[in-house]
Every structure is written in structure tokens, then in C-alpha cells.
Amino acid sequence: MRQEQEEKKKQKEINKRKSQTDSNMNEKSSKKSITLPTSSGKEHISDNEKNNRSKPPTVGQSIIRGVLSAGVLGIILFFLISLLLPSIKEVTVQGFKWERSIAVEEQHIYTDDDWNLPSNARLLYTKKELKGYEPVIDHYKTVKETKTRRVFDHYDYKNSYNDLGNGYFDEKTDKVPVYRNETYTDSHKEPVYRQEPVYATRYYYEYDQWDVIDHVSSSGKDQKPYWPDISLKNKQRKGKKRESYSVIVKIGDKNKTYTMDQNEWKSLKLGETTKLKVYKFGTATIPKEK
């Protein structure tokens, strides 16, 4: 008997520990937010996450975003301005370069055709050709259309009574028309068009055109530029001229090359130390004295 009591006591303690363990596990699982894929393959989102996602940004967050955006725009603007604005540099003139070139053009004869004759063209011949098509009325067709309209059908009689105030009523009968919907066929004429060919005069002509066939250049590393000599043949002429003047200067321990206006370039002296207004794109000018 005593042994049975001890076994029951032990079984109660085991059941008590088991229930405590199960309750602890339930508490832990309720504290954790577990995300499991649903049957549709979409991620499950807890209610707290939904609320956080649906909340609009606060005033403070909007201000921070605005400040960051303005900062990025400011950096970009500063970078662009720094590319355009020049800087004054003290330089030592190390050398000079120049280059001049003249295009050689030659006259060629070309042929072409158009609906109009250019003023500088020489007419060769003309032809009547198809210029296009225009719509013209060929005939009319009858188009039928079913429509609906309201027509009188019959009269209904409506009785009304007027209280005479003496215990009697005056009876009145009104005649009310009744209408019905009637379908009918309406017909009208519509034009049918055909495309009629249009012929016009086509002009065939020839014209002269000057084409660049070569460039003759001269260059040097001094301050004595000159234009190159050109030997022209029949139906040739001088075309567009190009010239470029560069100065090689030492800034600190580096040599830089800048292109300049010819007059300012010629005023510089080899070996002199002076100031130049230099630009990021490789050009320079002499700063004006205040």
C-alpha cells in the first residue's frame, strides 16, 4: 500500500514538471514572430509589420530626406560650377606650339531630281511622273439604319374627383395619350471614294558643289606661325582656315598645356613667370589687371 502511494506521488511530480515545460515553450513561441511561406508562395507579414509599412513618413523623416536630397543636389551643382569657373595660377612659360591648316575644296558636278527646280541648278530635262494619289468621289451608296421613335398608340381615360365641400364630389374624366416605341428603317446616301493618280512635272538637273578633298597644314614650336603654301589645280579653291595656339607652362612641379587666343599667346615670353587664368577644359587667358 505504501509502495503504491509513493508511485502515485512520483507520477504527480513528473506530470507537474511536464506541464511547466510545455507552458514555457508556449510562452517562448508566442514572443517570437515566425514567418512562414503561405500556400500561395507569398511571405506572411505580421500585423505589426503591416502597421509599420502602412505608416506615412513623419515630419522629421521628411525633413531629413529633404536635407539629404538638397545636399546631393548641392554637391552636383558645386562640381558643375567648379568645372566652369577658372582659377588663377602662377606659371613659368616652358614653350610654345602652334598649328594652322587650310582646307582644299574641289568643284564637282552632281545630278538630282525634284518636283521643284533649285535656283542654282541647270535643267537637263523634265518628265511627267506619278506624284501621288488623291481621293475623288466615284459613286454614292445607300446606307440603311434601323432607328427607334415614339409614336401615338391610344388614349387612356383617367378619372379624378373634386371635393365640393357639401358632401358631394365633382367627377372629372381626363383623356391621356399613350405612346409606344416604333422601329423604322432610315436610309441616306454616302459617297464612295477612289484613289485617283496625280501626275506632275519632275525636274532632272545638275548642280555644282564644292567638296573638301584635303587639308594642308603647318606647325611649329615657336611664336612665328605662318599659313602653309597651297598649289591649287583647276576647279580647286581654298576652303576654311583653322588655327590653334598653345603654351606649355610649369605649375609647381608639373607641365601643363593650354590653348590661348593668338594675341595673348604672342605676348608671353619664354622663361617668364606670370599669372594665367586657367579653365578645366584646357584653355587659358591672361587675367586683366584691376
Q: What is the mean pLDDT of residues 57-61?
A: 68
- Rounded (5°) CA angle 195-198-203: 150
Average pLDDT score, the chain: 84
Q: What's the pLDDT band for 241 if we cut at 50, 70, 90?
A: very high
60 pLDDT above the threshold of 80? no
* Cα–Cα distance measured from residue 276 to residue 256, given in angstroms and rounded to the nearest whole number: 12
What does the pLDDT average to over 110-117?
97
Task: Give the predicted TM-score (pTM) of the model.
Answer: 0.54
C-alpha cell at 210: 564644292
Tell me the average pLDDT across 257-275. Answer: 95
Distance CA 277, CA 255 (A): 16
- Average pLDDT, stretch 260-270? 96
CA neighbor of 124 nearest in space, from 105, 138, 110: 110
Residue 36: pLDDT band (50, 70, 90) is very low
What average pLDDT does this structure show over 166-173?
84
Q: Is the pLDDT of residue 53 over 90?
A: no
Average pLDDT over every residue of 118-134: 96
Q: What is the mean pLDDT of residues 173-178?
A: 91
More confident residue, 58 or 175: 175
- pLDDT of 125 higher than 70: yes
Q: What is the pLDDT of residues 17-27, one digit of tens each?
A: 655 555 555 45
CB 209 within 8 A of CB 105: no
pLDDT tops 80 at residue 242: yes
- Please indicate whether residue 138 or residue 64 has the higher confidence score (pLDDT): 138
More confident residue, 56 or 118: 118
pLDDT of 43: 47
H helical segments located in the chain? 2-31, 47-54, 59-84, 262-267
Please say if the pLDDT value at position 196 is more than 70.
Answer: yes
Residue 217 — very low, low, confident or very high, per pLDDT cuts 50/70/90?
Answer: very high
Straight-line distance from the first to the last Cα atom of the chain, in angstroms, rounded to the nearest whole number: 121
**Which whole-number Å values give the CA distances from 165 to 168, 171, 276, in the listed order?**
7, 14, 116
Give me the pLDDT at residue 12, please: 64
The span from the CA of 282 to the CA of 219, in Å, is 19
Question: Does residue 180 surpass a pLDDT of 70?
Answer: yes
Q: How far apart are CA 204 and CA 202, in angstroms?
A: 7
